[in-house]
Structure 1
Amino acid sequence: MVPLAQSVAQGNGPSATQLFWGELHLHTNHSLDAYITANTTVTPDMAYRYARGIPIQQPGLDRKIQIRRPLDFMAVTDHAEMMGLFTLLNRADETLLATPWGRRAMAAHVRDPGRGGAMSVTTAGMAGPPAPELQEMMSQVYSDAVRSTAWSVEIEAAERNYIPGTFTTMFGWEWSSVVDGGKNLHRVVVANTDAEGAASFIPYSSQDSQRPEDLWAWMSATRERTGVDFLAIPHNSNISGGLMFQMTDSDGQPISAAYARARQSWEPLVEVTQAKGTSEVHPEIATNDEFADFEIRRKLLIGTPTPADEGDYARSALLRGLQIQDRTGVNPYNFGMIGSTDSHTGLSSVQENDFYGKLVSDIPLSQHVIGPRPVIFPAWEMGASGRVAAWAEENTRAGIFAALRRKEVYATTGPRIALRMFGGFNFTAADADARDIAAVGYARGIPMGGDLTAAPAGRAPELLIHAVKDPLSGNLDRVQVVKGWIDDDGEAHERIYDVAWSDGRQKDRAGHLPAVGNTVDLETGLYTNSIGAVQLATVWTDPDFKADQAAFYYVRVLEIPTPRHSLLDAIALGIDVAQTGQPATIQERAYSSPIWYTPVR
């Protein structure tokens, strides 16, 4: 794996890549919280089969369901904490029942099989008894033997559904650290290995440690022992209470070069869009960003309100990374961007007109109506998002992992917007019209996720950008470049540039581009692609570049307005969309991984 890391550091991409669509964050009945919210039947194997396009039965709908557009790759990422506990109880697993605590959990499960009698035992054991009893319970219910039994089910499902070149399964899980009353520090962990390698370790969980540094240390030690490489992908930084992208480590000390180097190595990606909201930016932080107020969640995991904090959002983190690099020489937040669903239904569902929600308990449409029951994740507050797009040489475990490692990946909120972005100093305006954008980009620049340095005298970074609409979704409104930089005094700045747009619109005197319009019929939920563009391409040169100032650039592509799932539900239910508490329309989007510019010091 060392050659891969060297390739990333040099910003080198492969000579030829293809676009593959995937999901790297999905829960099945092996996740404790999925099981107790009614996902008792959708197994890891069923989740993979659904993603491949094979029909499965969904008990909540009492009918067969089938994904409309099969995926190219996926990782089932069940929580490592108590992974598969209920499925082990359902099959009366001998390993679990050989322990007193396992038998106690089984008795509770028999009394209350549907909603977690066993969970009441295990959680009571973790929270209530004195330390010796807690330790004894953990040693039995959370033993290596029990964990290995549950993990083997995940391995078998991934291996059974792996079809190299057609459908790639990745081995993964979620490390679900929660601190300080519901602040989310979760990471999805993805491994680059086969079934034999996956069987050589047991997923590390937050019950082993709540500290990200300990997770990285485990990944490092496990790679040294087994040869398996790992990536940890933070998700829902938007509800971390300011903790995900701090200027300090877990001990409250200023981030050091060693910490920055470890985080950059083990966490090269961040999930910026999923069901529980957008983690790109917050409108109260980016007050000059007219498109920042998109699928914003203002509650922690336990449902309590949380204020906007720069430590929660990817754009702020990218800026902080430049500041830390200026001080230490290393950027801990040199990450690419992906999207995934975090669905707990076992179904990777992102289409607004066919959205199955985050939880199985919310699949019945009648359950979406806000009632007296307390609900932490109301269905209408959840977003039908997201997808990870990978520019990879081949659709295999090695090919997809290599694209993730070098950050030649991007996020969308669901639509399959095809996006290329290259950075360099030798592009021309005519390159935007090239028949083979990739050939030009790789030959004279670096792809998204790479690094530029040593700008030639008198030259500024140029971005070669090409975006094509999803043929089954809305036309494109515009392409934007988001730039962040550090000035000579070490202060962080950001600016958004509209660089390509549809319909021949003209910017006003203040440089503002008028809205594209809105064709959504609020009575029917239908819209027309009579506005917007099928594709947009440009070569953009930074007009504000200073060769001695570190900077990053990423691309944001916006669709024209289309109906949100809450509007479609409201129409079906015969209620006013205002009752959902959500907007009727949204502008779906894509976020590229950044390209960084670092001056020579």
Structure 2
Amino acid sequence: MTARILLTSAAALALTACNQAPSDVSSGVLDPALAEVAAPDMPQADRQLLWGDTHVHTINSVDAFSSGLANADIDSAYRFARGMPVIFPRTGQRVQIDRPLDFVVIADHAVSLGISSRIARNDPSIMQYPIARRLRELFETEGGRALTTAGMGGSNLTEEELAAFNRDMRSDEVLAGSWQGQIDAAERHNRPGTFTALIGWEWTFAPNLRNMHRVVFTNVDGDQAGQFLPLANYQTDGPEDLYAFFEETRARTGADFVAIPHNSNLSEGRMFELVDKNGDAFDAAYAQTRAAWEPVVEITQYKGSSETHPALSSNDEFADFELRNMLLTGVPTDPLGGSYVRSALLMGMAEEQRIGANPFRYGIIGASDSHTGFSSQLENNFLGKLGEDYLPADRLGDNKVPIIFPAAQMSASGLAGVWADHNDRQSLFDAFRRREVFGTSGPRMSVRLFAGYDFAAGDQDRRDFASHGYRLGVPMGGVLAPSNGRAPRLMIQAVKDPEAGNLDRVQVVKGWVDARGRTHEKIFNVAWSGGRSMRADGSLPAVGNTVDLTTARYTNTIGAAELATVWTDPEFDPSMRTFYYVRVLEIPTPRHHLFDALALGIDPATIDIVPTIQERAWSSPVWYTP
């Protein structure tokens, strides 16, 4: 085992500033047939690590308005992300993010976009419609939830009112007014070089309440974004319609798009099923198109982790992490491979072996899916998913709101780490497109991964770590060609969040497809803290636990500030398609509900949730293709 713990050094400084090269799809060119053959370019300078959230909702989302005016408006959401103090609308309390984000996507739902908030403020451009005035009456007499019910399908509307809603509230004129409001807000807050407001929305497709949502963002500025309207779920009957919209819109306006599948754990296997909307098996053209438009996937968020499940990964001791295996209604479902990212990565390679193209060549990010308007990932200061579950008593006490996803069960997660040339729309878009991204469950730990054939022991300590990685290999998200049967070598560095827990270990998750098309996976511990010795079966003793359950405090007296290694797969078979991604685990720290329980005088042992959490990061994979 060649791993070693790094001390704070020039190598650490190189890590925090190092950069990655474009891999297989250059910006502005999205020919799926060319997606895996474009030659990577060396970066011109060290790239920077940027932190952001691609999945924040404001009161302009119809479901967020179920809390009435308890959640933030779009300007407050941007100001919070930029680091400014803002007011939490429900309580009037001042709140502020611990550290500003570098970028954000305000991903309000395209369905009924902005209708509720415009009606609530008596926007004359929408109140000219009689149905809008009827909806205003609902809001005044029955509250925000009644307005949301009408905006999400109208079960509280008469047949005549529903027809008027569909005709007027879903008209291009009304949608254009709401969309322009989203664009104008992004333009007000966009600060190239300092803070990037990516323009986007959420396509909220959920047949039979099986979650198949995608967050969408574009690379263009406001003038160009104003030349199209966001596609809503009611205008489509499958993701193929979304891809067709992208193709048509790009050809007409020049705008380009990234789509991000989210919450696959709530899809009951639908997110990554191996048939199209007509029930037909994938062909190469479909696989190429899907992979081109969906370069990354959301692996964690408030509604749980979508990496894997113990029923699918029985030999993964850390598979049981923030699980929510259910429908959008909260009804539990069986754990199916089509609901989880690791299974999708495996199935994608099997499909590539069958048809010659991989539909699920996903990079990995984390995001929040916050509906408060505030991107909140701190366990010790979690702001909740909705304004109505913001206070500790709302989440655990006698006043807790009976909702589908109880707030104590929510995850204070996650974030996207992006290695980009600059902090601007096009540079971030390019980084997502080439999959040079990683996700975390909240902490801002830095993760680097390069794969090649010529890395040597000790290279992880080089001052020119990143440039060396680009010269000899590919970064996370890249694809390796064969090299005379040699096994790939992974050069890995991980640095702790300076304001969070130390690191427990670094693992490599390997997946492969054998000659008969069967998929396999294995977890390798490749670097770890302390004086632990690897057991014969490849496992490690636990790192320990310093959390005091009576005070919700811990100490960083265990674990490491940095871990790094050059690792070679000891079981490599050059004939088999393979992926590798890195998973970095922190030492145990207090989970957010422990803080609430102690504040309310509740015994944490009476709550059926583990009071500690091992926060983690997941790199995008690298793929070996025979």
TM above 0.5, yes or no, is yes
Q: Which amino acid in the other structure matches residue 144 of structure 2? A: R
1:120-519 map, 5 Å: 120-123=149-152, 125=154, 134-180=162-208, 182-369=209-396, 374-457=402-485, 459-519=486-546
Is 2:126 the partner of 1:96?
A: yes
CA contact (8 A) 1:352 1:384 kept: yes
Q: Which amino acid in the other structure matches residue 548 of structure 1? A: S
1:570 to 1:262, Cα distance in 2 relative to 1, 3 A: same
CA contact (8 A) 2:505 2:527 kept: yes
Could you tell me which runs of 5 or more consecutive residues in structure 2 were left unpaired when the two chains were aligned.
1-26
Partner of 2:580: 553
- What are the superposed Cα offsets for residues 217-250 of structure 1, whole Å, 9 maximum, x if unpaired? 1111111110000011000000101100112112
1:325 to 1:39, Cα distance in 2 relative to 1, 3 A: farther
CA contact (8 A) 2:396 2:597 kept: no
State the alpha-carbon separation in 2 of the partners of residues 95 and 289 from structure 1. Answer: 55
State the alpha-carbon separation in 1 of the partners of residues 237 and 133 from structure 2. Answer: 28
- What are the superposed Cα offsets for residues 412-436 of structure 1, whole Å, 9 maximum, x if unpaired? 0011111110011110012111112
Q: Which amino acid in the other structure matches residue 450 of structure 1? A: G
**Structure 1 stretch displaced more, 233-242 or 5-14:** 5-14
Is 2:561 the partner of 1:534?
A: yes
State the alpha-carbon separation in 1 of the partners of residues 61 and 592 from structure 2. Answer: 26
Q: Which amino acid in the other structure matches residue 494 of structure 1? A: E
- SS of 2:56's equivalent in the other structure is coil
Q: How big is the shift at 1:68?
A: 1.1
Q: How big is the shift at 1:467?
A: 0.4
Partner of 2:92: 62
State the alpha-carbon separation in 2 of the partners of residues 83 and 354 from structure 1. Answer: 29
State the alpha-carbon separation in 1 of the partners of residues 212 and 35 from structure 2. Answer: 29
Match of 2:58 among 28, 32, 43: 28
1:464 to 1:526, Cα distance in 2 relative to 1, 3 A: same
State the alpha-carbon separation in 1 of the partners of residues 261 and 82 from structure 2. Answer: 26
Q: How big is the shift at 1:9?
A: 4.4
Q: Which amino acid in the other structure matches residue 76 of structure 1? A: I
State the alpha-carbon separation in 1 of the partners of residues 28 and 183 from structure 2. Answer: 25
State the alpha-carbon separation in 1 of the partners of residues 156 and 203 from structure 2. Answer: 19
Q: Which amino acid in the other structure matches residue 167 of structure 2? A: S
1:529 to 1:13, Cα distance in 2 relative to 1, 3 A: farther
State the alpha-carbon separation in 1 of the partners of residues 217 and 59 from structure 2. Answer: 19
Q: How big is the shift at 1:136?
A: 4.3
State the alpha-carbon separation in 2 of the partners of residues 83 and 152 from structure 1. Answer: 11
State the alpha-carbon separation in 2 of the partners of residues 582 and 382 from structure 1. Answer: 11
State the alpha-carbon separation in 1 of the partners of residues 329 and 37 from structure 2. Answer: 39
Q: How big is the shift at 1:299?
A: 2.4
Could you tell me which runs of 5 or more consecutive residues in structure 1 were left unpaired when the two chains were aligned.
none
- SS of 1:429's equivalent in the other structure is coil
State the alpha-carbon separation in 2 of the partners of residues 554 and 92 from structure 1. Answer: 50
CA contact (8 A) 2:62 2:152 kept: no
State the alpha-carbon separation in 2 of the partners of residues 274 and 176 from structure 1. Answer: 16
Q: How big is the shift at 1:138?
A: 1.0
State the alpha-carbon separation in 2 of the partners of residues 226 and 101 from structure 1. Answer: 33
Q: How big is the shift at 1:119?
A: 3.7
- What are the superposed Cα offsets for residues 72-106 of structure 1, whole Å, 9 maximum, x if unpaired? 11111001110111221123223322323223223
State the alpha-carbon separation in 2 of the partners of residues 413 and 397 from structure 1. Answer: 24
Q: How big is the shift at 1:598?
A: 0.5
Q: Which amino acid in the other structure matches residue 109 of structure 2? A: H
CA contact (8 A) 1:7 1:13 kept: no
Partner of 2:141: 111
State the alpha-carbon separation in 2 of the partners of residues 238 and 528 from structure 1. Answer: 33
Partner of 1:37: 67
Q: Which amino acid in the other structure matches residue 236 of structure 1? A: N
- SS of 1:207's equivalent in the other structure is helix
CA contact (8 A) 2:265 2:306 kept: yes
Paired residue total: 595
- What are the superposed Cα offsets for residues 9-62 of structure 1, whole Å, 9 maximum, x if unpaired? 446254231100001000001011111124445111110100111111113332
State the alpha-carbon separation in 2 of the partners of residues 409 and 328 from structure 1. Answer: 27
Partner of 1:565: 592
1:399 to 1:129, Cα distance in 2 relative to 1, 3 A: same
Amino-acid identity (%): 49
**Structure 1 stretch displaced more, 103-112 or 201-210:** 103-112
Q: Which amino acid in the other structure matches residue 204 of structure 2? A: S
CA contact (8 A) 2:35 2:292 kept: no
State the alpha-carbon separation in 2 of the partners of residues 293 and 412 from structure 1. Answer: 16
State the alpha-carbon separation in 1 of the partners of residues 593 and 527 from structure 2. Answer: 30
Q: How big is the shift at 1:589?
A: 0.3
- SS of 2:449's equivalent in the other structure is strand
**Taking CA–CA contacts closer than 8 Å with sequence separation of 6 or more, which of the two structures ends up with the larger relative contact order?**
2
- SS of 2:426's equivalent in the other structure is helix
CA contact (8 A) 1:13 1:447 kept: no
State the alpha-carbon separation in 2 of the partners of residues 478 and 44 from structure 1. Answer: 39
- SS of 2:176's equivalent in the other structure is helix
State the alpha-carbon separation in 2 of the partners of residues 208 and 445 from structure 1. Answer: 43
Q: How big is the shift at 1:64?
A: 1.2
State the alpha-carbon separation in 1 of the partners of residues 447 and 587 from structure 2. Answer: 16
State the alpha-carbon separation in 2 of the partners of residues 428 and 390 from structure 1. Answer: 26
1:370 to 1:320, Cα distance in 2 relative to 1, 3 A: farther
TM-score, normalized by length of structure 1? 0.96
Q: Which amino acid in the other structure matches residue 418 of structure 1? A: S
State the alpha-carbon separation in 1 of the partners of residues 35 and 181 from structure 2. Answer: 34
Q: Which amino acid in the other structure matches residue 59 of structure 1? A: P
- What are the superposed Cα offsets for residues 166-225 of structure 1, whole Å, 9 maximum, x if unpaired? 001100111111112x21011000111000011111110101113111011111111111
TM-score, normalized by length of structure 2? 0.92
**Structure 1 stretch displaced more, 306-315 or 368-377:** 368-377
State the alpha-carbon separation in 1 of the partners of residues 193 and 331 from structure 2. Answer: 45
- SS of 1:224's equivalent in the other structure is helix
